[in-house]
Amino acid sequence: MPKIVKINAKKVKEFRQKFPKHINTRVIRSKDGGFVAEITTFPGCFTQAETLSELIDMVNDCVRTYFEIPAKLYSFMPTYLPSINIIYNLDIFPAPRQEVKLKMRLPDYERTEN
């Protein structure tokens, strides 16, 4: 992880405090197997991806964009991850469902006190 320059440390803390502990996301499987996600916690936030891994990255990128986080500070921002139960509920193995609602949360080590 890159070092935080003193001038950016305060900004990093300010941006990190904007992130809620959980976000709600509605995920729909497309007919071709990809994913479309609406981050319902933040109105107007939508993204898509071909794989679940890519979807997780895209959801986090969408949240960072929503909060207008400068790209140079992305590596210092929290990352939302679905629980393993949610991954199973997406029914990726063996046959996909068409839609599921899920809550993504920050890992314990990413949480900040508000």
Domain count along the chain: 1
Q: Please check whether residue 35 is in contact with residue 55, taking contact to mean a CB–CB distance below 8 angstroms.
A: yes
Q: 52 in helix, strand or coil?
A: helix
Whether residue 111 lies inside any domain: the answer is no
Q: Residue 97: pLDDT above 70?
A: no
Whether residue 94 lies inside any domain: the answer is yes
Question: By CB neighbour count within 10 A (0-12 exposed, 13-18 middle, 19+ buried), where does 77 fall?
Answer: middle
Q: What is the mean pLDDT of the chain?
A: 84
Whether residue 29 lies inside any domain: the answer is yes
Whether residue 1 lies inside any domain: the answer is no
What is the CATH classification number for the domain harbouring 79?
A: 3.30.160
Whether residue 114 lies inside any domain: the answer is no
Q: 99 in helix, strand or coil?
A: strand
Whether a cis peptide bond, with omega within 30° of 0, leads into 78 is no
In the chain, % of residues over pLDDT 90: 47
Q: Note the pLDDT of residue 22.
A: 94
Single pTM value for the model: 0.73
Look up the domain containing 49 and give its range.
6-106
Q: Note the pLDDT of residue 5.
A: 56
